[in-house]
Amino acid sequence: MKPDDQNGRLPTAERPFRVLIIAGSDRRQYNCPGVDSKARTLMLRMADRLPRDWEIDYEDIGNLFGRARIQSCNACVSTSMALCVWPCNCYEPKNSKEPDLMWDLDLYSRLDLADAWAIIGPINWYGPTSNLKLMFDRLVCMNGGNPKEELIEHKNPELAMKLEHSPEWEELSRNHLEGRTAGFFSYGDGGGDELDETGRPKLLRHKHYFDPEQEPEDNRDLYAPLVWQCRYGGIEVPDQLWRYVMFGQGKKYSDNQAEDMAAETNVYAEFDEWTDAFAAFVLRKGKVESGEFRAYGYEARGHRWADLKLKWREHKMKKGTGPRNSSPHEQGKLGLNADSGSDAKESEGEKLRR
């Protein structure tokens, strides 16, 4: 059935099972690729195959012309875990200066509402797609993120560093989506028709640069960073729900589109078997209780006054001082970063070429 977000307010026992399916290819037919992805086809196929009495939510995060993209993670956690807010407050919905698809699609809430996630995507350059990597990077906040941004005045690094060392932090930091299940179905084409009889790219002139014997052996493992991030944060990824299938090897890319999958004897059979295994596991495991600090129902706080304070902090850093005893202040004294001055927002390349 279609998802009803209002069911997120019901006790767990009274609401239906809910699954979120993500098509993780970057391609959409309404952008320069001009063709929809195989991941989208498989997403829709899975949605039709799952139990009818479950809420089936799904999203295609491919690139649409004129639509916001998933913004990259700013790595706040590397400054302080307490600076990484749950759900992410580096960006916000419908922001004209830094539009962000994660917020515009309400993905934090939808991930929170689901008992299980199904992630479908291709292998791109020995790894997940850029959009899936961006999405999971932005989910670092589910792994111990700060659920009370008011304690750090929205985004104050010094307050976050102080909070991280306080007894209160031990009570706040937790895996906010722990207990859910995630399944991963990735696919690839083995390089299409680009390889020669030795397994090297045909166009490569320096053949000794590329040793096929040293390529990653198991393409399934190319999604390992996403799988292990989930496991790190308490999201269960059973081995049987982590799959890879190859099809289209030796074909031109133009001959390996969604409409060509039916001609491949293994694709739909393996995908349907994975879908059935996913449904059986989720049903057997049961519905997942929500965490204390939910993304569902979250409303961002106003932060104009906090922004003004941070602007003053930025002004002092440009002057080469920074807040006393802060990390930028200490780095400045040691001459570690050369990141002050009125031109601090210029690129290093621009500075070098003046």
Element spanning 226, H or E: helix 224-232
Q: Is 345 helix (H, G, I), strand (E, B) or coil?
A: coil
- CA–CA gap between residue 178 and residue 307 (Å, rounded): 32
- Tokens 């009818």 sit at which residue? 52
Residue 119 is predicted with a pLDDT of 98
Task: Band the pLDDT of 328: cuts 50, 70, 90.
Answer: confident
What pLDDT, on a 0 to 100 scale, did the predictor assign at position 174? Answer: 95
Question: Does pLDDT of 342 surpass 80?
Answer: no
Give the three-class secondary structure for 334: helix
Specify the 3-state DSSP secondary structure of 133.
helix
* pLDDT score of 343 more than 80: no
d(C-alpha 134, C-alpha 100), whole Å? 11
Other beta carbons within 10 angstroms of residue 153's beta carbon come to 16
Edge-first strand listing for the sheet containing 242-246: 55-60, 18-23, 116-122, 181-188, 242-246
**The pair of three-digit structure tokens given for residue 229, joined into one six-digit string:** 């991030």
Identify the band that residue 335 occupies on the pLDDT scale cut at 50, 70 and 90. confident
> How far lies 153's CA from each of 8, 13, 293, in Å?
29, 37, 18
Query: Which part of the chain has CATH 3.40.50.360?
Result: 5-302
Helix, strand, coil fractions of the chain, as percent rounded to 5:
40, 10, 50
Give the Cα separation of 183 and 352 in Å (integer).
47
Overall size of the chain counted in residues: 354
| Span between the terminal Cα atoms of the chain, in Å | 61
- Distance in angstroms (rounded) separating the CA atoms of residues 277 and 340: 55
Quick check: 304 and 331 in contact, CB under 8 A?
no
CA angle at residue 20 from 223 to 109, to 5 degrees? 105
Please tell me the predicted confidence (pLDDT) of residue 333.
Answer: 85
The pLDDT value recorded for residue 99 is 96
3-state secondary structure of 159: helix
Q: Can you tell me whether residue 122 is helix, strand or coil?
A: strand
Instruction: Please compute the mean of the pLDDT values over residues 195-222 and round it to a whole number.
Output: 93
Average pLDDT of 65-79?
Answer: 96
At residue 74 the predicted structure's pLDDT band, cuts being 50, 70 and 90, is very high
pLDDT band per the 50, 70, 90 thresholds, residue 301: confident
pLDDT per residue over 244-273, tens digit each?
Answer: 999 888 889 898 899 998 887 789 999 999
What pLDDT is attached to residue 250?
A: 86
For residue 192, what pLDDT is reported? 82
pLDDT at 344 over 80: no
Backbone angles phi, psi at 238, to 5 degrees: -65, 145
Q: 148-153 contacts: CB < 8 A, separation 24 or more?
A: 148/172, 149/85, 149/89, 149/301, 149/303, 150/301, 151/82, 152/82, 152/83, 152/85, 153/303, 153/306, 153/309
Distances (CA, A) of 103 to 107, 108, 246, 266, 293: 6, 7, 33, 37, 17
- Residues contacting 225, CB < 8 A, separation 6+: 127, 128, 133, 136
What span, in angstroms and rounded, lies between the C-alpha atoms of 121 and 223?
9
Homologous superfamily (CATH) of 5-302 is: Flavodoxin domain (3.40.50.360)
The rounded percent of the chain whose pLDDT value lies above 90 is 77
Alpha carbon 105 to its chain centroid, in Å, reads 13
